[in-house]
Amino acid sequence: MILTKKKAIDLSIELWEFLTKTGKEKGDWSEWGKYQKYASNKQGVIDRRCFLCEYNEHKGGGSHCSACSYMERFGHCNHEGHYYNSWDKTRTPRTRKKYAKLFLEQLYQLRSKK
């Protein structure tokens, strides 16, 4: 099934709302199985457990993030100082919630972008 840019953003928001509430890691989200149909690989695994990365794969962007909506607006998510990078490096649920919320706010901005 084709993953659209809008759907990738909406599913990212759904995931990050969970992470904001729980302070858990992406692998703990129970909804992954529901969205295997969007995976571009035969294993049915969403690329990097990120719908925006998966959308990039669908668009042929490869590992360079050239079709990533987040990167277009905010820069590379995994660079030092970005909320995702900070979330990924922390290990406590409280701090994960903090950075997940900040990252989620950016995803909301992507969705509302005209």
Q: How many domains does the chain have?
A: 1
- Residue 2 carries which side chain, given as an amino acid letter? I
What is the 3-state secondary structure of 58-83? HCCCHHHCCCCHHHHHHCCCCCCCCH
Q: Which of 81, 79, 82, 73 is nearest to 111 (CA)?
A: 73
Tokens 């995976």: give the residue. 39
Q: Give the DSSP letter of residue 41.
A: S
pLDDT at 29: 97
How much is the pLDDT for 3?
93
Domain region containing 67: 5-112
Rounded to whole angstroms, the Cα distance separating 1 from 90 reads: 34
pLDDT at 105: 98
Kindly give the confidence (pLDDT) of every residue in the chain, 114 residues in length, as a single tens digit, with 9 standing for 90 and above.
889 999 999 999 999 999 999 999 999 999 999 999 999 888 889 988 999 999 998 887 766 788 899 999 999 999 999 999 999 999 999 999 999 999 999 999 999 985
